[in-house]
A and B are shown apart, each in its own frame.
Chain A
Amino acid sequence: MTPRTDFHKDLTRLQDELLLLGGMVEKAVARAMDALRRRDLDASRQVVREDDIVDLKRFDLEERCIDLIATQQPMAGDLRVIITVLHVAVELERIGDYAEGIAKISLMMGNDPPLKPLIDIPRMAEQSADMLRRSLDAFVNRDIVAATTVCKDDDKIDDLYDQVYRELLTYMLEDPETIRRATYLLWVAHDLERIADRTTNIAERVIFLVTGRLADVSVSRY
């Protein structure tokens, strides 16, 4: 028995719950993209509905953090864990909102014929999902090297976003009829770009958790 066994158990549980939220959000993004690709409106509707669960989980985590701060006077590394969980929970919840956003765009598209086969957008989704996974792994392993890499990888997402933007612009210039459908796709790409950006925020929090330093590791172009 160390002096604060129970408190440290609570801290472990808090981090497990955060990872649970991370898993929920990861799944939401994957399902939103899958529904978009398959044009499955029911699946999109489900993603929209299930975002409520993500929101509740985030509030639950926030409440636990507040209780621990109010009652346990956490110090040093323990305090950084709680502050990190507080921030990361908010970032994850926002990523969940982008997944919901993608699902809503898919619903707006309705049964429109596809403008073009999706190539770069799924690529963006895959890479940002991978960044999210790696940022959470870096959190678990307290790995600042991995966290820094996640931040740097944001450039690749920005490049893909540029590429999608230029391509869609070409469609729109060629045929104004496509503007509506192209804009929808641009919004999806934008949501994915935001997801990657939020992921770098998580990675930056991991660096704070380990080093106590707050800093922007890479500044997104968007």
Chain B
Amino acid sequence: MDRREVVLKADRLRVWYGSFLAIKDVDFQAKVGMVTALIGPSGCGKSTLLRSFNRMNDLIPSVKIGGSVEFRGRNIYDSSVDPTELRSRIGMVFQKPNPFPKSIFDNVAFGLRVNGYTGDIYEAVERSLRQAALWEEVKDRLNKSAFALSGGQQQRLCIARALAVEPEVVLMDEPASALDPIATLAIEQLIRELSRVYTIVIVTHNMQQAARVSDETAFLMVDDDRAGYLVEHGDTQQIFTNPKDERTEAYITGRFS
């Protein structure tokens, strides 16, 4: 795995909701096997940016996209791209754990069945649950309802569900914001483990979390026109010890006006 290889690339990306410009001219790259964190104040467009990486925004009416997003060199907004197929390559984990009202096993197997997986489903489910560091806790009750799990376990189940279809990239939108501190640290450790296999882009409100889990950090901001834009993107250590842009410094030191 060459960690300089760019997997996802946004070029002058603009996203409108109706006539409202939510992000303007964002250039962004996510490199293979790295965790890239998106941080910034509320309304800076970090979730919008994340959702544009696997066309989740398509599901919102009146969305318009400008510029381009390339996944492995191919523009994902090209008319020839099947968004469902794209989302199996670029998975997503949401803020609040959202397991389906099904058994633990069926939750993880869901994506495989939808995609007509022809391999051994049981094996794939076990592999995904192991990768999500949940296997040991659930292996004896795979047929129990997913709702019987704790919040932290549910979130790891959702991660396992995303991993089951063997994506290349996992997008995470505040994956720990609904969890208690220990479950949060467990998810963070899991993200570190997963980055050995997957490319991860994570949005977080919690910049300490970004500092702990990511290899690279991108800082977005928003001005009076309410359109989010990218200020600085660099190695996480550099961003948190010696940012280049004074706006980044102001934000991470809590001197933001």
List chain A positions with a Cβ less than 8 A from chain B.
1-7, 66-67, 70-73
Q: Is there contact, CB below 8 Å, between A1 and B133?
A: yes
Q: Is the CB of B236 within 8 A of A4?
A: no
Q: Are A3 and B236 in contact (CB under 8 A)?
A: no
Ordered by A's residue number, 20 sampled pairs between the chains whose C-beta atoms are within 8 Å are: A1-B133, A1-B190, A3-B189, A4-B188, A4-B189, A5-B189, A5-B192, A6-B192, A67-B237, A67-B240, A67-B241, A70-B211, A70-B241, A71-B212, A71-B236, A71-B237, A71-B240, A72-B211, A73-B208, A73-B212
Assess whether A71 is in contact with B186, with CB atoms less than 8 Å apart: no
Q: How far is the CB of B132 from chain A (nearest CB, A)?
A: 11
Extra contacts, 8 of them, besides A6-B189, A70-B240 (Cβ < 8 A), are: A3-B185, A67-B237, A67-B241, A70-B237, A71-B211, A72-B211, A73-B211, A73-B212
Name which residue of chain B comes closest to A66, CB basis.
B241
Q: Does B58 contact A (CB under 8 A)?
A: no
Interface residues of B (CB under 8 A from A): 133, 182, 185-186, 188-190, 192-193, 208, 211-212, 236-237, 240-241
Residues of B within 8 A of A3 (CB): 182, 185-186, 188-189
Return chain A residues, CB-CB under 8 Å to B237: 67, 70-71
Asked if B211 and A1 make an inter-chain contact with CB atoms under 8 angstroms apart, the answer reads no
User: How many pairs, one residue from A and one from B, have CB atoms within 8 Å of each other in the complex?
Assistant: 37
A2, A5, A71 interface centre (most CB from chain B within 10 Å): A71
Residues from chain B with a CB closer than 8 A to the CB of A71 are 211-212, 236-237, 240
Interface centre among A3, A66, A72, A73 (most CB of B within 10 A): A3
The majority secondary structure among interface residues of chain A is: helix
Inter-chain CA distance A67–B185, complex, in Å, is: 18
User: For B192, what are the chain A residues with a Cβ–Cβ distance below 8 Å?
Assistant: 5-6
Cβ of A159 to closest chain B Cβ, rounded Å? 45
Q: How far is the CB of A132 from chain B (nearest CB, A)?
A: 31
Nearest 5 Cβ contacts at the A-B interface:
A3-B185, A71-B211, A70-B240, A70-B241, A3-B186
Least Cβ–Cβ distance between B67 and chain A, in angstroms? 31
Q: Which residue of B has the minimal Cβ distance to A68?
A: B237
- Residues of A contacting B212 in the complex (Cβ-Cβ under 8 angstroms): 7, 71-73
| Bound-complex Cα distance A71 to B241 (A) | 8
Q: How distant is the Cα of A3 from the Cα of B185 in the complex, in angstroms?
A: 5
Bound CA span A7–B193, Å: 12
Residue of A with least CB distance to B214: A71
In angstroms, how far is the closest chain A Cβ from the Cβ of B185? 3
Chain B residues with CB under 8 A of A70: 211, 237, 240-241
Q: B136 → chain A, closest Cβ, in Å?
A: 9
Min CB–CB distance A154 → chain B (angstroms):
36
Residues of chain B contacted by A66 (CB below 8 angstroms)? 241
Q: Which residue of B lies closest to A64 (CB)?
A: B237
Q: Which of B189, B236, B241 contacts A2 (CB 8 A)?
A: B189
In the complex formed, the residue of B with least CB distance to A73 is B208
Chain B residue with the shortest CB-CB distance to A7: B212
CA distance A67 to B236 in the complex (A): 9
Residues on B with beta carbons closer than 8 Å to the beta carbon of A2: 189
Chain A proximity of B115: nearest CB distance (Å): 29
The distance in angstroms between the C-alpha atoms of A155 and B236, with both chains bound, is 47
